[in-house]
Amino acid sequence: MTTQKHFPYINDQMFAEDVALSDIAKQVGTPFYCYSNTAIGQNYQNYQQAFSDQDSLICYAVKANGNQAVLSTLAKLGSGADVVSEGEIRRARAAGIPANKIVYSGVAKTKSEIEYALSEGIFQFNVESEPELELINQVAKGLNKIAAIALRINPDVCANTHAKISTGKSENKFGVPISKARLAYKQAALLPNIKVQGVDVHIGSQLTQLAPFEEAYKRIAQLVIDLREDGHDISVIDIGGGLGITYHDELIPAKQDYAGVAKAQLGHLNCKIVIEPGRSLLGNAGILVSSAVFVKAGEERQFLILDAGMNDLIRPSMYDAYHDILAVDKSNAVLKSYDVVGPVCETGDTFAKARQVNESKSGDLIAIMSCGAYGAVMASTYNTRMLVPEVMVKESAFAVIRQRPSYQEVINADSVPDWI
């Protein structure tokens, strides 16, 4: 079970920092996401301290949670941003993250997105393929600009993580195979509107061991040496993200140890190290709070039916992901085994099976833990269910940082042509 000090129990009632979750639920209604501002800040500062003796740039992976309050919190701490779309660039810039701290990743950058990134003056494109490299050069030429780039290298290293979030094996869609890297850099150096400045690698997400990082960084270090021998001025190494969090009983390496591996393998190259943490900054800084609608007795099991569904939190359905599920009020110490499910008309709308939870009844609040990353940002309005509000807490204060839309707003997003 995860231990999340920013969501403690006080007199059997769960709090977010100094605010009772029951008080938030009374004002906001359920379901809602709740984030600890203090947890986000402390997680970021842990990375800062781990890399404090290394020329480095922390670029938060916006894909993990793009809420403006989250991004503003990180911007004020000095964070950059790792983005994968024009929309994420716009989010980062709106939150106050400087363009010269933005790295642009992603396998399918379009002409208009590249134009926007160049016009903003981002720090670096992490280029995923030779055709993308040609397009960036073409667009930069049209704008009379020089595009600073790193090629994302696929090192063919197994990340020992879920297949859907492993990105560093040869069969994955990401990056240039390391066997073809020197040729790709040779081609890049010939393009007049390209500035070759770095190497990028990212092998996956939710890694719980340091060995895959170490192996990938070893291969990248040798590549940098080879590229310098080929005449390329490599000054930046983007090591991606991927460090995991504790969802259940995983033992996660300390950020100091993670940084130690990076510095041991890459520090002698005298490059700026770019780090792209996402989940490890936000994951355990957020939860999803729901209400029990019914407790239903089936023939073989009991179902705890919540008002939150797979459209609000897709991870259990998509990845078979484990999340701790806790009663907000645990004054009833009796534990019961439930299949914890949502209201969506899919059997896959299941958060957990045969899970021990404090005995619950209709109206009781239930917290699904470790939802700060890849939670609200992946939500949908499937079944015409409204996107849930997001709340941020700091000490004894809380604010709604994304409102729950009305049904009319959801319906008004559609339009009916006059020929129907």
Annotated active-site positions, please?
A: 345
Instruction: Look up tokens 């996956």; give the residue.
Output: 204
- What distance in Å separates the CA atoms of residue 400 and residue 25, rounded to the nearest whole number? 11
Q: Where are the beta strands (DSSP E) in 248-358?
A: 272-275, 286-297, 302-306, 325-327, 335-341, 350-358
57 and 51 Cβ atoms separated by less than 8 Å? no
Dmax over CA atoms of the chain, in Å, equals: 71
Burial class (CB in 10 A: 0-12, 13-18, 19+), 368: buried
Closest CA to 13 of 328, 386, 304: 328
Dihedral sign (CA 330, 21, 380, 4): negative
- What distance in Å separates the CA atoms of residue 116 and residue 136, rounded to the nearest whole number? 11
Strand partners, 302: 297
- What distance in Å separates the CA atoms of residue 313 and residue 79, rounded to the nearest whole number? 27
Cα→Cα distances 298→251, 309, 338, Å: 36, 19, 10
